[in-house]
Amino acid sequence: MTLHDYDIGILGGGAAGLTVAAGAAQLGAKTLVIEKGEKLGGDCLHYGCVPSKTLIQTAHVYHLIKNAQRFGLPSVEVKPVDFRKIAERIQGVIRTIQKHDSEERFCSLGAKVEFGDVAFADDHAVHLNGRTVTARNWVIATGSSASIPQVKGLEQTPFLTNRDLYSFEKLPESLVILGAGPIAAEMAQAFCRLGTRVSIIQRGHQILSNEDEDMADLVMEVLKREGVAFYLNAAIVSTRDLGKTKEVVIKTGEGQTSTLQAQALLVALGREANLKGLNLEGIGIPFDAKGLQLDSRLRTVHKHIYGAGDVTGSFQFTHAAGYEGSIVVSNAIFHLPRKANYTFVPWCTYTHPELASIGMNEKRAKAAGIAYSVWTEEFKGNDRSLTEGEEIGKIKMILNDREKPIGVQIIGPRAGDLMGEWVTVMTGGVRLSTLASSVHPYPTLGEINKKVAGAFLSKKIFSPTIRKGLRLFFDLKGRACGMDEIGRNG
């Protein structure tokens, strides 16, 4: 048997790579993590989830203060924000979480961490900082970066990506965002709430194009009301650097050309896997801009080289990266064949209201030719929502023709957290009757989950057949009051 330096080598110290490292090292595998950047933690910690959600919360608090009167409070004169203070808070949160993702912690778990540029020498060896390191298994977990489109003038126009958003010296006065996916929507609202004039340019006819139109439109309506300008069905023709401002020329569906100018330009048009420079071509591993070609056990054409995280090109979320990391540990270390199954991987866009999803929505069910029914409940019927001034939103439960839930979407306050219950229901195959009969604390937003399940079941329970049966067997006497009697006695 060939002797390798390590049992498992991992390229990339982000969510996926660190999940594999923690699992493998704790199981006794000699583990190496190689990270190209200066610190562990990846995009999520440094330029993604953590800074964006910290910024969103700051913007939310500022928005609440500005709208104090809505809550019966005196109106408040607010000063403009000092972005350096916001950036400090963001860096503070990152530093706190960084401890969990530190070299020291991984060393204490038993994994060695090295920093540097890496490329495959052959399917078991990599070149790292002038030496060759070998491993029995390798995991490619190098994440993704903002995809930059071929647009006339863009190369000569200074633009921002998600990596540049959290360290401004000063809040930009105006911002044009190319794209209308989750990152674009979240950042548009956050910057708009902080005082930036924000415009979104979207090629399609709706924002958040993976979501059902009615849900995405609700998000858009809220953002519009708060001041974000939307240009839908708009193609980006060119960009130009005008010094203090950047210019974007767009062509709308009707063929009209418009020119937008803003102090800053953000490119948020999807993600591209970080796979260049690893010499994957040299060892015969196929990939494209979206990601690696993998089998269902997340193996490349070399069965001992795996892919996990954003490089899979599938569900580009931190929790999906963690899930894929656990699949790799099962396959590579435990040698228990395990396939990735994304059927019930949830996700959430953290606008306010949040939009969370799991499984099929109407769009996906239609595309798959699945017969379905839709059950909805609105947050304006939820007592806790009303007490919190959060009337906007709804839950949509999608059932198949056997009346099993195949998907749920929630748009509303803390939708991401509310989705947790559906993750358990759907992954665990919990019956809707169990959810509907379980006791939820009152008043909570979570009651909406129970209510939508109950709405479906009550149609059956309170049916004419059941009523007829009960009357027959137990001699029930029927209605005691009808609408026509109201007021007759008073």
Ligand X SMILES: Cc1cc2nc3c(=O)[nH]c(=O)nc-3n(C[C@H](O)[C@H](O)[C@H](O)COP(=O)(O)OP(=O)(O)OC[C@H]3O[C@@H](n4cnc5c(N)ncnc54)[C@H](O)[C@@H]3O)c2cc1C
The answer to the question of residue 141 lying near ligand X (CB under 6 A) is: yes
The answer to the question of residue 162 lying near ligand X (CB under 6 A) is: yes
Among 14, 181, 346, 393, contact with ligand X (rule: CB under 6 A)? 14
The answer to the question of residue 12 lying near ligand X (CB under 6 A) is: yes
Q: With respect to ligand X, which residue has the nearer C-beta, 322 or 454?
A: 322
Give the residue closest to ligand X by C-beta: 14
The answer to the question of residue 143 lying near ligand X (CB under 6 A) is: yes
The answer to the question of residue 181 lying near ligand X (CB under 6 A) is: no
Q: If phi over 0 gives left and psi between -120 and 50 gives alpha, with beta otherwise, what is residue 429?
A: left
Among 8, 22, 49, 175, contact with ligand X (rule: CB under 6 A)? 49
Tell me the pairing of strands 394-400 and 372-378: antiparallel
Among 31, 52, 239, 300, contact with ligand X (rule: CB under 6 A)? 52
How far apart, in whole angstroms, are the C-alpha atoms of residue 14 and residue 324? 12
Task: Write out the H or E segment, with its range, that includes residue 194.
Answer: helix 182-194
Interacting positions 103-132 with ligand X (CB under 6 A)? 118
23 token code pair = 């699992």
* Other Cβ atoms closer than 10 A to 180: 27
Residue found under tokens 């009960």:
470
Q: With respect to ligand X, which residue has the nearer C-beta, 52 or 189?
A: 52
Q: With respect to ligand X, which residue has the nearer C-beta, 35 or 377?
A: 35
Task: Candidates 42-50, 65-73, 166-174, 335-343: pick the segment binding ligand X (CB under 6 A).
Answer: 42-50
Residues 6+ apart with CB under 8 A from 131: none
Task: Candidates 138-146, 197-205, 229-237, 422-430: pick the segment binding ligand X (CB under 6 A).
Answer: 138-146
What is the amino acid identity at position 374?
V
Q: How far is the CB of 357 from ligand X (least distance, A)?
A: 12
122 token code pair = 């052959």
The answer to the question of residue 37 lying near ligand X (CB under 6 A) is: yes
The answer to the question of residue 294 lying near ligand X (CB under 6 A) is: no
What is the amino acid identity at position 172?
P
The answer to the question of residue 272 lying near ligand X (CB under 6 A) is: no
The answer to the question of residue 426 lying near ligand X (CB under 6 A) is: no
The answer to the question of residue 317 lying near ligand X (CB under 6 A) is: yes
E strands present in 31-74: 31-35
Task: Candidates 67-75, 191-199, 293-301, 311-319: pick the segment binding ligand X (CB under 6 A).
Answer: 311-319
The answer to the question of residue 54 lying near ligand X (CB under 6 A) is: no
Q: How far is the CB of 339 from ligand X (least distance, A)?
A: 19
* Other Cβ atoms closer than 10 A to 112: 17
3-state secondary structure of 441: coil
How far apart, in whole angstroms, are the C-alpha atoms of residue 198 and residue 311? 31
The answer to the question of residue 318 lying near ligand X (CB under 6 A) is: yes
Residue 277 has phi, psi (to 5 degrees) of: 85, -5
How far apart, in whole angstroms, are the C-alpha atoms of residue 124 and residue 25? 19
Q: How far is the CB of 147 from ligand X (least distance, A)?
A: 11
The answer to the question of residue 307 lying near ligand X (CB under 6 A) is: no
How far apart, in whole angstroms, are the C-alpha atoms of residue 238 and residue 452? 47
Cβ distance 49 to 187 under 8 Å? Answer: no
Residues that bind ligand X (CB under 6 A): 11-17, 34-37, 42-44, 48-49, 52-53, 118, 141-143, 162, 183, 274, 277-278, 309-310, 316-319, 321, 350
